[in-house]
Amino acid sequence: MRLRLVGAVVLAAMVASCGVEKKAQKAYLLGKYQRAINHYQGILAKQPSNGRASYFVAESYRLSNRIKEAEPFYAKAKGRGLPEDSILFYYSKSLQANGKYDEARNQIQQLVEVASTEEFRDRARKELEGLDYLVQLKARQSFYRVKNLESINTPFPEYAPAYRSEEIYFTSSRSNSKIYEATGTPFTDLYKVASQGANVDVNTIQALPPVLNSPEINEGCITFTPDGKAMVFAKGNSGKRKGTQDVDLYISRFRNGEWSEPRALNINRPESWESTPAFSPDGRTLYFSSNRKGGYGGLDIYTAQMDGRGNFGRVRNAGPDINTAGSELFPYVAENGKLYFSSDGHPGYGMLDIFVVNRANGRTVVENLGEPVNSPADDFGIFLFKADRGFFTSNREGGKGDDDIYTFVNEDPDLKVVNYELRGITYTWQKDSTRKILSDVKVTLLDGKGDVMQDYVTGNDGIFLFKVYESENYTLIGETDGYLVKRQPYTTRGKSVDVTKLKNLVTTITLDTVMYLDKLEKDKIFVLQNIYFDYDQSYIRADAAVELDKLVDVLNDNPEIKIEMGSHTDSVASNSYNLELSQRRAEATVQYLIRKGIAPERLSAKGYGEERPIARNTNPDGTDNPAGRQRNRRTEFKIVEIGVIPVRKTDEDDEDKYFKGEGVIKNDN
């Protein structure tokens, strides 16, 4: 069941202050919104001008995902202690949901003028911008064609379709006799039906096994790993916990021909709501929606990484480009890596709209899919079974009732999907100067801002594979036991193809790279490239600083090592002078590293003068060799000690540093 909630503590204070009938109070606080509506409408039948009763009817409709029906009640909502800013804001949203955009504009303009907090004033301004954006959106040509998938829909809700192995999996309450009191409708279960794309065999519709479906708990929003051997879905809204904050993610595995007993994922938080999961195409990243503390608004989209053992960790907020002060949920990642999601916080038609995230030169651009995919009603739960066609959910006018599943086709004649993959192999050098494949290397892909995008652990073939995008800069980090952590740049700039010359709808471009990791050994010497000094000088040149910054990364990535910075000179001047000059140069590099945050006790300086040349200082005929002398004016570092790696915080420990601000508790299952 799709349900919106607000914090129970705030509600308790508001309800207690307005003196409404005791049963209505209790039902409202427990999230039994349909029962609350019935009680409050009983009051309104006798007291039509009761502004408090109107307010709680409106809120009950909104929080049970029926904001369209809330409009006449928000219009009459008033009373001491009621949140006037909130009433104006959601009255405007209810007007938008009914397609009354001019009236919605008047209400939101009023909120801009009278809002008591900057937060609501800012949200109101963004709503005004969104209404202006609708004018541009309506003028844009659309190539989408949509159709109600009538054969699968009923008067009950059907939503969140997922397609795999010629079957559609979806959520519905069509056959459940148990009533969920938040909405007065049956609890939802998971179903499947055989289908060739959008051609459904209705005779095969069946509920998933009882081990997955419980009669008095809502199940919904299913996603599968690419091999189909594991599913993650949402389970909760039993109505038995105060505030119904009991929606979590569960995983079940297909073993011996049947699904296992679902178990809760370790990324769930007891005080928050997690739902609408979706695996990335490679199955290593799980996207989901949560109202956990520290988000940007109501519900935010998060990601979690799944390791080779099926454990989840490294939970990350998708960030402010995607998440807003409203709610973002129902994420879905297509085969081309594009993220789709639904939101009522980005500019749209009034309720939930479907958006797609496009990447352009490393920037995130969120785009509304426009009509006819979106409407003034709720539009969400998109899934592409081909690059140009798929399913989504809507409760728009003209459906069979409540949420319906729709099918769509994108008939854009210029539609071309290009997938860019970065394929690499991890190696190490052997003592005989030949290379060998290095397995069990964790390779991490960072974007241009240094944020983690993906992880990959290489197998015996040393291969790693990442989804990348055109015209972007990346950093690859490789690490495994017994080797120095390696960090190297990679760019896709200048490597994109001309889509106008492509003939196929979908094209995959594979880019290649290699990564070499050095064995972690005491007394091993590494020559730093391009750390040169001007003649008779010991200051750090700009080009040398660039290379020393790379050494800073090496030292930060490998906190267990201590190094000696060794400096060498050419043969000009006396040996004693060169020893003194090289010592000054070595100390200059150490001081540079210390200024960059490296602990002094991890560093030592040693000047070798002219004693260890790597090139000739003079030509065979005795003339000066400037190029050779510059090569000899070099800097090296040597590992002098390998200690114990300092204890680092776990992803869970430092998770909060990735969160911004405090979120308003607001749910949508």
- On the question of pLDDT at 584 being above 80, the answer is yes
Q: What is the pLDDT of residue 243?
A: 41
Q: What's the CA dihedral at 241, 243, 244, 246 to 10 degrees?
A: -80
Task: Report, as an integer, the average pLDDT of 309-334.
Answer: 92
Geometric angle at alpha carbon 207, from 202 and 211, rounded to 5°: 160
| Separation between Cα atoms, residue 419 and residue 415, nearest integer Å | 13
Element (H, E) at 255: strand 248-255
Determine the Cα–Cα distance for residues 216 and 1; give it in Å rounded to an integer. 12
Q: What is the dihedral of CA 638, 641, 647, 648, to 10 degrees?
A: 0
Q: What is the distance between the alpha carbons of residues 92 and 102, in angstroms, rounded to a whole number? A: 10
The pLDDT value recorded for residue 8 is 35
| 154-180 mean pLDDT | 91
pLDDT at 4 over 80: no
Q: Is residue 660's pLDDT more than 70?
A: no
Residues 176/291/407/411 CA torsion (nearest 10 deg): 180
Residue 14 pLDDT exceeds 60: no
pLDDT of residue 543: 84
Q: DSSP string covering 281-300, please?
A: TTSSEEEEEE--TT-SSSSE
What pLDDT does 654 receive?
41
Token pair listed for 171: 């959520």
Calculate mean pLDDT across residues 391-403. 92
Q: What is the pLDDT of residue 662?
A: 27
- Residue-level pLDDT at 75: 93
pLDDT at 24: 85
Q: How would you classify residue 313: left for phi > 0, otherwise alpha for psi between -120 and 50, otherwise beta?
A: beta
Q: In the predicted model, what is the mean pLDDT of residues 382-411? A: 94
Tell me the one-letter amino acid at 595. R
> Among the listed ranges 11-20, 90-99, 525-534, 656-665, which one has the minimum average pLDDT value?
656-665
Rounded Cα–Cα distance for residues 330 and 403 (Å)? 14
Measure the CA–CA gap between 46 and 34, rounded to whole angstroms.
19
Signed CA dihedral, 510, 511, 512, 515: sign only: negative
CB of 182 closer than 8 Å to CB of 237: yes
Q: Rounded mean pLDDT of 287-302?
A: 94
Question: Across the chain, what does the average pLDDT equal?
Answer: 87
- The segment with the largest mean pLDDT, out of 310-314, 423-427, 493-497, is 423-427
Phi-psi region of 326 (alpha: psi -120 to 50; beta: other; left: phi over 0): beta
> pLDDT tier at 150 (50, 70, 90 boundaries)?
very high
Give the full edge-to-edge strand order of the sheet including 603-607. 525-528, 635-642, 561-567, 603-607
Strands, E, within 335-485: which ranges? 339-343, 353-360, 363-368, 379-386, 389-394, 404-410, 417-429, 435-437, 442-446, 452-457, 463-468, 473-479
**Cα(403)–Cα(309) distance, rounded to whole angstroms?**
37
507 or 175, which is more confident? 507
Tens digits of per-residue pLDDT, 449-482?
A: 888 888 889 999 999 999 999 889 999 999 999 9
pLDDT at res. 2? 54
Decide if 637 contacts 593 (C-beta within 8 A). no
Whether residue 440 contacts residue 460, with contact meaning beta carbons closer than 8 Å, is answered with: no
Residue 431 burial by CB count (10 A; 0-12/13-18/19+): exposed, middle or buried?
Answer: exposed
Q: What is the pLDDT of residue 572?
A: 82
- Whether 81 and 14 have beta carbons less than 8 Å apart is answered as yes
Cα–Cα distance, 548 to 554 (Å, whole number): 10
pLDDT at 658: 30
How many Å apart are CA 325 and CA 661, to the nearest integer?
10
Residue 55, pLDDT > 70, answer yes
Q: What is the 3-state secondary structure (H, E, C) of 228-240?
A: CCEEEEEEECCCC
User: Which pLDDT value is given to residue 561?
Assistant: 95
**DSSP-assigned letter for residue 483:** B
Q: What pLDDT, on the 0 to 100 scale, is given for residue 19?
A: 45
Q: Evaluate whether 298 touches 324 at the Cβ level (below 8 Å).
A: no
* Per-residue model confidence (pLDDT) at position 31: 83
The owner of tokens 């009278």 is 114
Quick one: pLDDT band at residue 661, thresholds 50, 70, 90?
very low
Model confidence over 601-658: pLDDT tens digits?
999 999 998 888 888 888 888 888 888 887 887 889 999 999 876 554 444 444 333 3
Domains of the chain: 8-139 (1.25.40.10), 144-415 (2.120.10.30), 417-516 (2.60.40.10), 525-642 (3.30.1330.60)
**Could you tell me the two tokens for 429?**
């050098």
Q: What per-residue confidence (pLDDT) applies to 240?
A: 53
Least confident segment among 55-59, 285-289, 570-574, 589-593:
570-574
Instruction: Report how far residue 95's alpha carbon sits from residue 97's, in angstroms, rounded to the nearest whole number.
Output: 5
The pLDDT value recorded for residue 245 is 54
Sign of CA dihedral 240, 242, 243, 245: negative
DSSP 582-597: HHHHHHHHHHHHHHTT
Handedness of CA 201, 203, 204, 205 (dihedral sign): positive
Which pLDDT value is given to residue 646?
A: 57
Which of the pair, 84 or 363, is modelled with greater confidence?
84
pLDDT digits (tens, 9 = 90+) for 337-389: 899 999 998 988 878 999 999 987 777 899 999 999 999 899 999 999 999 99
Shortest CA distance to 515 belongs to which of 467, 456, 452?
A: 456
- The pLDDT, as a whole number, for residue 153 is 96
What's the first-to-final CA gap in the chain, in angstroms? 6
The token pair at 185 is 């409708």
Q: What is the DSSP string of 353-378?
A: EEEEEEEETTEEEEEE--TTT--SS-
Judge whether residue 181 has pLDDT over 80. no
